[in-house]
Amino acid sequence: MSRDCRQKWTDFAESMTVEARLRLCEAVMSTTGDFVCLLDPSARFIYANAAFVDRWGLSQVAGKSFFELDYPVDLGRRHEEEVEQVISTKEPLQGVVASASDAGQAHYFEYDVRPLLDNEERVEAVAIIGREITQERELRRRKATQERLLRTLKAAKLVVWEWDTDKEELITYPSAKDTEGAPFSEALDREWSEYAEVHPEDEAELRRKQKRALETGESYRHEYRLRHPEREEWRWLEDVGKAVEDEQGRRLVGVLRDVTASRRTKERLEGVSEESKRCFRMHEAIVSTTPDLAFVFSVDGRLLYANDATLAVSGRTWNEVVGKKLLNYGSDREASQEVDDDISRVVATKKPLRGERVYKGARGARVYEYIMSPVFDEDGEVEAVAGTARDVTEHRRAREKLEKAAEQKNRFLAVLSHELRNPLVPLRLGLHVLKGARSGGEKEERAYQTIERQIDQLTRLVDDLLDLTRISRNKLQLKKEELELNEVVEKSVEDHQALFSGHEVELVFESAEEEIFVDGDVSRIVQAVGNLLQNAVKFTDPGGVTQVWLESKPEDEEVEIHIRDDGVGIDPEEVCKLFRPFEQSDAARKNSSGGLGLGLALVKSVVEMHGGEVRAQSEGPGMGAEFVVRLPAKFGPKRGR
């Protein structure tokens, strides 16, 4: 409305009496299709237009509340709350409600609730203005459904088509030119007479199926080649169609899908099928001749394949077992259930599974070592479980015999160690008695020192034997406490200074800069370090040097104890067997004081019981050797020098 027209309307309205204005408003409200009502601040009706009264079947609304009228209770309560809110905030609000008609059909309404203010900005009335939106809502729903269908067709690269046989006109939905990747978008958006060329070898069958569909009303499916009108390219299409008939007449409808890629893949697979069959025959020949059991199960535990060895163990033929679960043909019930459980575990974890199982078959109870692995499809899902099994019955019996022999050996060593240790006590006591009764002669002194040295050596050997048997039988107990490692190693070095001086070998120790704490058994750590020091002095010539130092590795929360000598060295090929019990290097065997070869084995066991590891390294004979003990550790502040 222009400014002039608006001014003329204002002037006209102001010239009217109040009664005339009300009659004018009533005339306007009675002709609108919107629902209009006025409420006072207590939510009682002041006015309701004809559309509102007729919709709810009301009469004589003035001065009444919603609950005094035949008005839906829930809706009336909602409107009263909205009136209170509008009066409180002086702000309009909107809403949508649903109401069922007498026939049970749902109707939807949208409405505004607005405050009417007087000259002092107080709410003197509240207006509710609404309209029915049922049809609009249904139209929006249909439009949304069509849009979802359109998106689905586009995503699937499908084209729905309709062929009006009377007009010879082809219509596509969605429009083929709007469907990215749809088959022959340029060709489909044109009349049937201009349809792109169907391959001569496919056209007759296509026309025959379409004609039969029109005559019988049956659906058809056909794959054919269509030539691109511009690129001179033949593409394979899958066409599924059906005849329909309604008030618009008889016509064909259907769906087109480009299947060129799948057809080409099929042709390639057919091209390699013979080669695949040849490879399969070769694999079958290999698997059939192996003494190991080979098998494939479906994910639900049905046998899909079994080689000759598997059939022989089961005592069944191929036809008796294929496609069945183990329990279905009288197999060992307990083992069969375990196999089903293993298959389920492999399917669930998608990881191989190894194990050992006793199976009672045609050859009696035998022990089998097996592995079962998942077979994945193109989507990465498990489609089968393949496996092999090997009869390890004889191997297991041999292993049990060896374990029994080892246990007998450990018991013998334990008994021997105790029996050897028993006479050492009186021998050492007798030695002390002789020491008090000596005359002081030189020969007597040398004899005494020889006896004492040999008793000490024998005591160490017996102690090593006892410790080794305790470790092998898991009977060695550690008394762990928090230890400051610099002090422990330094004390061990000091205890061995006399030994090194007697061999004219220099022993040098360098502690770490910071405090280093380990959780360990002090006597066992001293024993391990002592064994390594004794090993170093044993294989170092007079005039040599043995270095001992600690290296901190805070980033790994570990510490390393290094013991390096410049002695006879070690052949690199012998390093790997140094820590085995009773194993000795060539240098140790040539050394008259080589011992039993238990010292380094004990070092390895003690260090590993502390959660660490020990390693040896040497550049070869004559190049010296270095032993490194690595232990878990915590670090404190720097130490004073």
Q: DSSP string spanning 524-570?
A: HHHHHHHHHHHHHHHTS-TT-EEEEEEEEEGGGTEEEEEEEE-SS--
pLDDT at 592 over 50: no
Tell me the Cα Rg of the chain.
50
pLDDT for the residue 346? 92
The DSSP line for 280-301 is HHHHHHHHHH-SSEEEEEETTS
173 has which bridge partners? Answer: 160
Q: Which residue has the tokens 């246990």?
A: 407
Confidence bin at 450 (pLDDT 50/70/90):
low
pLDDT for the residue 178? 46
pLDDT for the residue 321? 80
SS3 602: helix
pLDDT for the residue 551? 92
Mean pLDDT of all residues belonging to the chain = 78
How far from 420 is each of 260, 457, 462, CA to CA, in Å?
Answer: 88, 12, 7
pLDDT for the residue 351? 93
% of the chain residues with pLDDT over 90: 19
User: What mean pLDDT is predicted for residues 313-325?
Assistant: 81
Whether the Cβ atoms of residue 240 and residue 254 lie closer than 8 Å to each other: yes
242 has which bridge partners? Answer: 219, 253
pLDDT for the residue 518? 93
375 has which bridge partners? Answer: 384
CA-based angle 191:194:198, to the nearest 5?
A: 115
CA 190/CA 207 separation, integer angstroms: 19
Confidence bin at 194 (pLDDT 50/70/90):
very low
In terms of pLDDT, which residue wins out, 142 or 29? 142
pLDDT at 13 over 80: no
Confidence bin at 119 (pLDDT 50/70/90):
confident
Sort 257 into a burial class: Cβ within 10 Å, 0-12 / 13-18 / 19+: middle
Q: What is the pLDDT of residues 413-449, one digit of tens each?
A: 565 555 555 556 666 666 666 666 556 667 666 666 6
First to last CA, the chain: 101
DSSP for residue 550: E
Q: Half-sphere exposure (CA, 13 Å, Cβ side) for 605?
A: 23
User: What mean pLDDT is predicted for residues 123-138?
Assistant: 89
How far from 91 is each of 88, 113, 115, 123, 127, CA to CA, in Å?
Answer: 8, 9, 7, 10, 12
Q: What is the pLDDT of residues 30-79, one digit of tens each?
A: 667 788 888 999 999 988 888 888 888 888 888 898 888 878 888 889 99
State the maximum Cα–Cα separation within the chain, in Å, rounded to a whole number.
154
503 contact partners, CB below 8 Å, separation of at least 6: 537, 540, 542
Least confident range from 33-47, 175-189, 548-562: namely: 175-189
User: What mean pLDDT is predicted for residues 488-516?
Assistant: 91
DSSP for residue 473: T
Q: What is the pLDDT of residues 145-167, one digit of tens each?
A: 878 877 777 776 777 878 777 77
pLDDT for the residue 139? 87
pLDDT for the residue 267? 74
pLDDT for the residue 27? 61
pLDDT at 9 over 60: no
Q: Is the pTM of this model over 0.85?
A: no
CA 8/CA 279 separation, integer angstroms: 98
Q: What is the pLDDT of residues 454-485, one digit of tens each?
A: 666 566 666 666 666 666 656 667 788 999 99
Q: Which residue has the tokens 């998106």?
A: 151
Q: Helices in 437-518 by DSSP H: which ranges?
A: 442-472, 485-495, 497-502
How far from 41 is each of 91, 128, 417, CA to CA, in Å?
Answer: 14, 13, 107
Sort 469 into a burial class: Cβ within 10 Å, 0-12 / 13-18 / 19+: buried
Q: What is the pLDDT of residues 372-384, one digit of tens each?
A: 999 998 888 999 9
Which pairing describes strands 506-510 and 545-553: parallel, antiparallel, or unpaired? parallel
Whether the Cβ atoms of residue 616 and residue 630 lie closer than 8 Å to each other: no
Q: What is the pLDDT of residues 358-367, one digit of tens each?
A: 877 777 788 8
Query: Using CA of residue 273, residue 279, residue 280, residue 282, what is the dihedral sign?
Result: positive
pLDDT at 249 over 80: no
Q: Which residue has the tokens 């919603």?
A: 66
pLDDT for the residue 280? 65
How far from 437 is each of 16, 432, 441, CA to CA, in Å?
Answer: 151, 9, 12
Least confident range from 13-22, 290-299, 340-349: namely: 13-22
pLDDT for the residue 174? 58
pLDDT for the residue 598? 72
User: Helix, strand, coil proportions of the chain in percent (round to 5)?
Assistant: 45, 30, 25
pLDDT for the residue 182? 45
pLDDT at 543 over 70: yes
pLDDT at 345 over 80: yes
User: What mean pLDDT is predicted for residues 174-187?
Assistant: 45
CA 406/CA 278 separation, integer angstroms: 51
174: its two tokens: 């969605």
pLDDT for the residue 187? 39
Query: Using CA of residue 346, residue 352, residue 357, residue 359, what is the dihedral sign?
Result: positive
In terms of pLDDT, which residue wins out, 572 or 407? 572
Q: Which residue has the tokens 């379409």?
A: 210
What interhelical angle do 442-472 and 393-436 show, nearest 10?
Answer: 150
